[in-house]
Structure 1
Amino acid sequence: MAAELSPIDKAKFVAAKRAVDFVENGMKLGLGTGSTAAWMVRCLAERIREEGLRVTGVPTSSRTAELARSLGIPITSLDEARWLDLTIDGADEFDTELNLIKGGGAALLQEKIVATASDQMIVITDAAKSVTQLGAFPLPVEVIPFGWQTSKALIEELLVSMDVLNRDCSLRMNGDAALITDEGNYIVDLHLKRIGNPRQLAMVLNQIPGVVENGLFIDICDIVIIGHGDGRVVVRDINTGDVQDDRVDFVPSDNIFADMGE
């Protein structure tokens, strides 16, 4: 079955497979959202089934919660768990300092809360997400529905003084209506093309009335695992400076692939 995966899905799979090697018995885990994180949830479920691994997951979205439940992963709320050992999630972009843009799946608020409530964050991704400077991927900003157009106008005004290449902003849609996040908010996507100072932008965006959170994850990620379509994985630890080249074999597993209804 693994041979039928596209190269990009193979890259996501091997990154996810390598990431769950970091999971130990008794851990409380943040479970990310998105296509790469979904592979991680499946790989984690396989370890639980085959090894009797005992963990508790805190999902970062209703989608991840549903998937985890369907695969038999015990889950709880962050309020119940209080603090987590590890969060594993994907990213839309990451730079050389492991700063991230996240929120392509509209789950950035819960993702950031869960990640910052963890001792460690591992990001699983493919090589295409690696950039010299963040900003090619639209930066999501979560805003409350009340007065969202005012919040958007204030964001556009703020961007005039920021080191960005472009300042176009758009409301994220779901068909003919505004997309609604799990927390009942809207997403405004900032099409900046290049962000010269992500740290500064992350701080000032959150000072705008109506802005709940933004998709810049600064100094949160500890390890990035980059998967490749040939099974190679690169593990980079920002804290130690270590970079490891590894390989994950494609072993067909009914436990992982038979569940897929997508």
Structure 2
Amino acid sequence: MAAAAGPSSSSSVKETLPPALGSTSQPPPVFDGTTRLYICYFCPFAQRAWVTRNFKGLQDKMELVAIDLQDKPAWYKEKVYPQGTVPSLEHDNEVWGESLDLIKYIDSNFDGPALLPEDSAKRQFADELIAYANAFTKALYSPLMAHAAVSDEVVAALDKLEAEMTKFNDGPFFLGQFSLADIAYVTILERVQIYYSHLRNYDITKGRPNLEKFIEEMNKIEAYTQTKNDPLFLLDLAQNHLKIA
């Protein structure tokens, strides 16, 4: 399963991860004042919120609750989050969801290193990148789900990211420094790099040096690497449950 997560972006101390809760599990004491982040260890969307939590050093303030999506407990939808998806965040007697909205909420409402810069141009660019993340995900996943070859849309989406990484040249990330924009993409890139390599013999970084450097630098950030799964586990999961081929 997932690697253990640590208490900050720079610490090597490992967090003991709770077991995933399935259909026979009892719910936590919902709305008792505890802040809880509901995730699935292998979901790329939940991983975005998990990375954000870790980078801001919120392990002691935001309890992880892992949900088994293959054996989902009924209470999760009934008592916690009516949409039934992950991630969701139980905070101040409310529940927040949708990963791209949630990472912004966590950054804005909790202490820790800021994940958006003060610079207005960079903030606007971050908003544009985050808004495009769903379309990027669809472009990369659609041919895999349809058992189709690498499409022009896939190439164009990857080329767009490669080009966007040149807008600010003060670091290896989208905005120069690490930000929510990077979190929005890295968990998707983690998976499609594996899938396209194994299933299409296609290297998403070939001819894209900025993307290659981005992935290399992301793998130096513990807040992210602490949340990664074994690549072959992700490939097997995708083939068996997403039916990609």
Which structure carries more strand by proportion? 1
Which structure carries more helix by proportion? 2
